[in-house]
Structure 1
Amino acid sequence: MKRNIKHVFFDLDHTLWDFDKNSGLTFQKIFELNNINAKLDDFLGVYEPINLKYWKLYREERVSKTDLRYGRLKEAFDALSIKIEDNVINNLSVAYIDHLTTFNHLFEGTFEILDYLKDKYELHIITNGFEEAQERKMKSSNIRDYFTTITNSEMVGVKKPNPKIFNFAIDIANAKVEESIMVGDSLEADIEGADKVGMDTIHFDYKNAHRHHYKRIIQLKDLVNHL
Structure 2
Amino acid sequence: MKLNGITDVFFDLDHTLWDFDKNSALTFEKIFKTHNIEVDIIGFLKIYEPINLRYWKLYRDDQIDKDSLRYRRLKDSFEAMDAAITDDLIYKLADDYVLSLSTFNFLFDGTLELLDYLKPNYRLHIITNGFQESQHKKLEQSKILDYFHTVTNSELAGVKKPNPIIFDYALNMATTKKAKSIMIGDNMEADILGALSYGIDAICFNYHGVKIEDNIKQVTSLIDLKSYL
Coarse TM-score class (shorter-chain normalised): over 0.9
**Residues of 2 paired with 1:167 and 1:46: CA distance?**
36
Task: Name the SS for the 1:83 alignment partner.
Answer: coil
**Residues of 2 paired with 1:101 and 1:210: CA distance?**
31
Which residue number in structure 1 is paired with residue 86 of structure 2? 85
1:22–1:100 CA contact under 8 A, matched in 2: yes
1:3–1:178 CA contact under 8 A, matched in 2: no
1:131 aligns with 2:132: yes
Structure 1: runs of 5 or more not aligned:
none
Matching residue's letter, 1:27: F
Which residue number in structure 1 is paired with residue 222 of structure 2? 220
* 1:179-215 CA distance string (max 9 Å, x none): 0000000000000000011101000000111221210
Matching residue's letter, 1:16: L
1:10–1:183 CA contact under 8 A, matched in 2: yes
* 1:95-141 CA distance string (max 9 Å, x none): 00111000000000000000000001000000000000000000000
**Residues of 2 paired with 1:83 and 1:158: CA distance?**
36
Matching residue's letter, 1:215: K
Task: Name the SS for the 2:104 alignment partner.
Answer: coil
Task: Name the SS for the 1:48 alignment partner.
Answer: helix
1:10–1:125 CA contact under 8 A, matched in 2: yes
Which residue number in structure 1 is paired with residue 180 of structure 2? 179
1:59–1:160 CA contact under 8 A, matched in 2: yes
**Residues of 1 paired with 2:195 and 2:24: CA distance?**
27
**Residues of 1 paired with 2:227 and 2:178: CA distance?**
21
Matching residue's letter, 1:218: T
Matching residue's letter, 2:154: S
Task: Name the SS for the 2:151 alignment partner.
Answer: strand
Which residue number in structure 1 is paired with residue 106 of structure 2? 105
Q: How many pairs does the alignment contain?
A: 226
**Residues of 2 paired with 1:186 and 1:129: CA distance?**
13
Task: Name the SS for the 1:148 alignment partner.
Answer: strand
Matching residue's letter, 2:117: Y
Q: Aligned-pair distance for 1:3?
A: 4.2
Which residue number in structure 2 is paired with residue 56 of structure 1? 57
Matching residue's letter, 2:220: I
Structure 2: runs of 5 or more not aligned:
none
- Give the share of equivalent positions with the same residue, in percent: 54
* 1:14-67 CA distance string (max 9 Å, x none): 000000000000000000000111100000000000000000000000010000
Task: Name the SS for the 2:100 alignment partner.
Answer: helix
TM-score, length-normalised on structure 1?
A: 0.99
**Residues of 1 paired with 2:198 and 2:120: CA distance?**
26
Two-structure CA RMSD over aligned residues (Å): 0.6
**Residues of 2 paired with 1:209 and 1:193: CA distance?**
18
Matching residue's letter, 1:99: S
Q: Aligned-pair distance for 1:83?
A: 1.3
**Residues of 1 paired with 2:187 and 2:212: CA distance?**
13
Matching residue's letter, 1:32: K
Task: Name the SS for the 2:105 alignment partner.
Answer: coil
Q: Aligned-pair distance for 1:79?
A: 0.5
Which residue number in structure 2 is paired with residue 154 of structure 1? 155
